[in-house]
């Protein structure tokens, strides 16, 4: 898709990947409505991005993706400000093995809700223009890891859901494409907290020492590495059904490329 002139909704955009993806789309001439549960972080990012790209290009909305009404309001606000939605990025996510039910709520249920809401708004029958939905999974969506079993389950779920909808001829006929991004370990707050504990010193994963050893072996990506892969997906002529993994050792690698053998 050509990004210039398009409108994107991004969840979890106050920091990390969500902020970097917002900036990359703005740089290419899109308008971005980004959201987060973190109001002060979101406002700070809004200020920075508006200074670079103009007040009329970027809009922050407070949205806890686990609250259905707030999620609906995010879409309403984007449509009222920018009149359309071409790109939806379900990026908000948490890593907290002690709160595995919450992990399912944020990483899985909210991602599904964001996808269904975007499908509704992008449907030409409802005034939409089709579009692209990118769901942020993880290398943990492709590989098991016994230091983060609940997180792994949610990230595998994202792939199953997104790849299934991408097969549906109904959405294809509406000009809607769905793809998944699978970054491996990347230097954001999520990784720092996993290794060192969260702000309160609480462990977010099991066996942090083991995780550290594995991370040292596999290497750590930069946010720029992942943003580059994100933009590649968005700008492809057809990214429908794609699962793009990125890790430090092998770089970008499309998974399940032999789609005929990995589909019904
Ligand atoms: N950093 C990494 O190594 C990797 C991260 N990911 C995924 O990328 C996505 C972004 O992660 P990072 O930027 O690394 O993490 P991060 O922790 O820096 O950013 C996550 C953002 O999501 C927001 N958020 C959390 N719960 C929310 C909720 N209920 N409603 C709305 N916003 C909420 C947070 O406030 C934060 O701004 C997540 O889905 C994560 O699972 C995937 C692979 C690797
Ligand atoms: C402790 C981790 C904390 C945070 C990281 C993120 O939340 C991230 O989402 C989790 C990633 C977990 C990744 C688990 C496995 C990764 C595997 C690979 O990168 C693949 C390795 C080799 C590929 C071999 C090959 O195909 O040749």
Confirm or reject: Cβ of 205 under 6 Å from ligand 2.
yes
Supply the pTM of this predicted model: 0.98
Q: What would the DSSP string read from start to end of the chain?
A: ---TT-EEEESS-SSHHHHHHHHHHHHTT-EEEEEES-HHHHHHHHHHHHHHH-TTTEEEEE--TT-HHHHHHHHHHHHHHHS---EEEE------GGGHHHHIIIIIIHHHHHHHHHHHHH-GGGT---EEEEEE--GGGTS--TT-HHHHHHHHHHHHHHHHHHT-HHHHHTTEEEEEEEE-SBSSHHHHHHHH--TTS---SS-HHHHHHHHHHH--B-HHHHHHHHHHHHHSS--TT-EEEEETTTEEEESS--TTTS--
Distance CA 165, CA 131 (A): 14
Q: Which atom of ligand 1 is nearest to the CA of 107?
A: 39
Residue nearest atom 5 in ligand 2 by C-alpha distance: 185
**Ligand of minimum distance to the alpha carbon of 253:** 2
**pLDDT band at residue 258 using 50, 70 and 90 as cut-offs:** confident
Output the CA 259–ligand 2 centroid distance in Å: 23
Confirm or reject: Cβ of 19 under 6 Å from ligand 1.
no
Confirm or reject: Cβ of 13 under 6 Å from ligand 1.
no
Output the CA 27–ligand 2 centroid distance in Å: 29
Average pLDDT for 107-113? 99
151 is catalytic: yes
Per the structure block, which two tokens stand in for 121? 């708004």
44-73 residue pLDDT tens: 999 999 999 999 999 999 999 999 999 999
- Whether the predicted pLDDT of 264 surpasses 90: no
225-239 residue pLDDT tens: 999 999 999 999 999
Q: Which atom of ligand 1 is nearest to the CA of 187?
A: 1
Question: What is the pLDDT, as a whole number, of residue 209?
Answer: 95
What are the distances in angstroms from CA 218 to CA 25, 58, 161, 214?
29, 36, 27, 6
Whether 135 and 90 have beta carbons less than 8 Å apart is answered as: yes
Output the CA 101–ligand 1 centroid distance in Å: 16
Confirm or reject: Cβ of 16 under 6 Å from ligand 1.
yes
Confirm or reject: Cβ of 167 under 6 Å from ligand 2.
no
19-45 residue pLDDT tens: 999 999 999 999 999 999 999 999 999
Residue nearest atom 35 in ligand 1 by C-alpha distance: 38
Output the CA 107–ligand 1 centroid distance in Å: 9
- Whether the predicted pLDDT of 263 surpasses 80: no
What is the percent of the chain with per-residue pLDDT over 90, rounded to a whole number?
97
Confirm or reject: Cβ of 89 under 6 Å from ligand 1.
no
């Amino acid at each position: 898709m050509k990004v210039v002139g398009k409108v994107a909704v991004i969840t979890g955009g106050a920091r990390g990947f969500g902020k970097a993806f917002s900036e990359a789309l703005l740089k290419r001439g899109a308008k971005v409505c980004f959201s987060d549960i973190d109001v002060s972080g979101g406002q700070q990012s809004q200020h920075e991005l508006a200074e670079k790209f103009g007040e009329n290009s970027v809009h922050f909305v407070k949205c806890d993706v686990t609250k259905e009404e707030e999620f609906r309001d995010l879409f309403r606000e984007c449509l009222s400000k920018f009149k359309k939605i071409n790109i939806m990025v379900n990026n908000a996510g948490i890593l907290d093995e002690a709160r595995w039910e919450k992990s399912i709520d944020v990483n899985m249920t909210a991602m599904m809700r964001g996808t269904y809401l975007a499908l509704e708004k992008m449907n030409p029958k409802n005034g939409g223009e089709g579009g692209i939905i990118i769901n942020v999974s993880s290398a943990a969506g492709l590989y098991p890891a016994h230091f983060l079993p609940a997180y792994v389950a949610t990230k595998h779920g994202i792939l199953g859901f997104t790849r299934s909808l991408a097969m549906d001829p109904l959405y294809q006929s509406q000009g809607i494409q769905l793809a998944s991004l699978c970054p491996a370990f990347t230097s954001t707050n999520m990784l720092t907290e996993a290794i060192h504990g969260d702000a309160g010193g609480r462990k977010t994963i099991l066996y942090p020492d083991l995780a550290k050893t594995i991370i040292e072996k596999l290497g750590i990506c930069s946010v720029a590495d992942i943003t580059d892969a994100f933009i590649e997906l968005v700008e492809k002529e057809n990214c429908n059904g794609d699962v793009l993994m990125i890790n430090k050792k092998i770089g970008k690698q499309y998974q399940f490329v032999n789609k005929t053998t990995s589909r019904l």
